[in-house]
Amino acid sequence: MKNSNENMAGQAGEPKKEKNSGRRRFLGLLGIAAGSLITIAMGLPVIGYILEPAFQKMQRQWVSVGPVSRFTAGDTVLVSFTDPSATAWAGETAKTGAWVRRVGDTDFIAFVLNCSHLGCPVRWEPSSKLFMCPCHGSVYYADGTVAAGPAPFPLQRFQVRVSGGQVELQTRPIPVA
């Protein structure tokens, strides 16, 4: 008798156990789904922020650095301008410059300021006709090629044009040769 009662109690408990385990599984899946949704909702802006530059077109714009009459043939002079591709909140960091040399009536060469080693601004030495980097001693010839390392590459150049009597440089976020 005792055995049959135990058997009956055991049989009655089985469906309850199954019901509980089914509910637990459902709640577990619900928790995973909710967690996944929250993760996706929180992660999308971060992913968008990281991937956005890859889908943006490189902005290239012409900026004026002064009238042609400002430049004397053969001289290399420092010009400054505000990078039009910089973000609105860039502030002072949007101000940049270039070394511009007039090589003919309407022919100009413009070098970026930054050393190809680690980006320090180079300076032009008219007496030696060399660009010198104060940070680690790189030296560049007048045409921007490397005279002494550790600079790995020549100085990069801007494209230059004369438009409406103004010398204009083509800017871009990261100038490349």
The site for ligand FES (CB under 6 A) is made up of: 115, 117-120, 133, 135-138, 150-151
What is residue 97's three-state secondary structure?
strand
117 close to 140: Cβ distance less than 8 angstroms? no
Rounded-to-integer distance, Cα 83 and Cα 96, Å: 6
- Looking at the Cβ atoms of 151 and 167, the one nearer to ligand FES is 151
Min dist CB 133 to ligand FES, Å, is 3
Min dist CB 143 to ligand FES, Å, is 17
- Looking at the Cβ atoms of 76 and 138, the one nearer to ligand FES is 138
Min dist CB 170 to ligand FES, Å, is 24
Instruction: Residue 142: name the closest of 167, 122, 172, 120 by CA.
Output: 122
Among left, alpha and beta (phi > 0; psi -120 to 50; other), residue 172 is beta
- Looking at the Cβ atoms of 90 and 135, the one nearer to ligand FES is 135
